[in-house]
A = this chain, B = another copy of it.
Amino acid sequence: MALNHMILSAFFFNPQGDHRMSWRHPRAPGREVFDFDYYRELALVAERAKIDTLFLADHVAIWDSVRSGVAHYANARLEPLTLLSALAGVTRHIGLIATASSSYSEPYNVARMFASLDHISKGRASWNVVTSAMDEEAQNFGRDGNIEHAHRYERGAEFLDTVKALWDSWEDDALLVDKESGYFADPDKVHPINHRGPHLKVRGPLNVPRPPQGHPLIVQAGSSESGKDFATEHADVHFAIFRTKEEGVQYRKDINQRLARHGRRPESFRILPGVLPIVAASEAEGREKQEYLQTLLPDQVGIDLLSSWSGVDLSSYPPDGPLPPLPDESTFNGGRTSLNRVKEWSKQNLTLREIARKLANSGSVPTAVGPPEQIADQLEDWFVSGAADGFNLMFPLLPEDWNNFAEKVVPELQRRGLFRTEYEPGTLRDRLGLTRPANRFAEARDRARAVS
């Protein structure tokens, strides 16, 4: 289905804001990031503005391979599924995107929690599938180091398909609750999935009826070749990073070709590029605010961050000198999108400190800075040109950049007819114009019937 307005997703990884050092800002929250009230207020502000989704990124480790990571970086955060479940109880419309790892969870547990959240929220659950690239994560789950890049995605695909099969294990009309006859369910419509693959063995069925959305919305980020193939085969929504509108238009063309290979139409897949919105009286004032955040980065953290992203120990290199040669992508086991961004900056003769500050500032995510009208112009331009179906809003400083956007930019977008003024009825999928997936077991029976 074509979109009649843009999709807006309010994102955070650090609950103090997307700049990695935002926690040090005088107006950033302190210990209240471990208090539910802080998140309820953010969610209610977003819901008043009719924002589509809350999107919580996540890692299953702290970045502690270097001491500066523990000391200076805001590592600790609440867990997305529990936090978004709590928010489900106090919101009515907004979508709830929780990150969970396909490398370090059990498919039965993941299927069950998202199915449960989808019931609790009346069809608002969404899973951001990550394969987890950090060694620190691997070591929290019985491994000595990270799973090799290709295997992570191979397992990820098997994991996701297993979870979807579990969501289908109760057909939509399997639940009878017929008190008179004593039939709680129709046993012909509740299916073991009997999955046996290279990585996983799961019998099923799930012990939760099919979720309201059929399958909770699947989100995927990561623009490596494997990432894009995975997304176009398996996901509904894709979080990408473009520096320019033109890049976004090209990206959509590439994605559409990949979708076609999987028999999918362009409108079955929503692309949300990241943007850093900073509302300010003028663009200059907004840039100043952004630069202030960059000064909060201790050199040591920047160098350690860059070492981690590039896979090279840079601790002995001078902060104002250039980067040494970087590893080849094809043999690199970390996040390849990040490695390639670092490489591009290196080619531009930026110093180590300069690159580190860019990284801390969410890498190459474009900003949208200035008065509300100017930000709306930029988003409108990307949306109407087909570079974006909407935006993943990565506010540098919370809660103020979030509140400013909701209270000042959203009304401007609404005035222009670019954003909803009331939530449409239905599930999250309905609102994003995405169809409810068919049930594989019901389909198989229908096919068998057609043949016989």
Interface positions of A (Cβ within 8 A of B)? 21, 23-26, 28, 30-31, 34-36, 40, 59-62, 64, 67, 70-79, 81-83, 85-90, 104-106, 108-109, 112-113, 115-117, 119-122, 136, 139-143, 170, 175, 177, 179, 182-187, 190, 192, 200-209, 296, 298
Contact = CB atoms under 8 A, between A and B. Distances in A.
Contacts of A112: 60, 79
Nearest to A23: B184
Contacts of A136: 203
3 nearest A-B pairs in the assembled complex, by CB-CB distance: A89-B89, A85-B85, A79-B116
A31 B205 contact: no
A78 B120 contact: yes
30 contacts: A24-B179, A24-B182, A25-B179, A34-B209, A36-B121, A59-B207, A60-B109, A61-B207, A62-B190, A71-B182, A71-B183, A71-B184, A75-B207, A76-B175, A76-B208, A81-B85, A82-B82, A82-B116, A85-B85, A86-B89, A88-B89, A89-B89, A104-B108, A108-B140, A139-B203, A141-B202, A142-B200, A143-B201, A182-B296, A182-B298
A300 B140 CA distance: 46
Contacts of A203: 136, 139-140
Residue from A25, A67, A89, A206 with most neighbouring chain B CB atoms (10 Å): A89
Contacts of A90: 89-90
A97 to B, nearest CB: 15
A329 to B, nearest CB: 27
Chain copies in the assembled complex: 2
Given A62-B205, A70-B190, A184 B81 contact: no
Contacts of A113: 79, 81-82
A54 to B, nearest CB: 13
Contacts of A108: 60, 104, 140-141
A82 B190 CA distance: 23
A23 B177 contact: yes
Among A30, A79, A90, A187, max chain B CB count under 10 A is at A79
Contacts of A190: 62, 64, 70
Contact of A86 (B23, B26, B86, B140): B86
Contacts of A186: 71
A175 B88 contact: no
Nearest to A33: B177
A35 to B, nearest CB: 7
Contact of A104 (B106, B120, B170): B106
A78 B114 CA distance: 10
B140 A72 contact: no
A119 B72 CA distance: 22
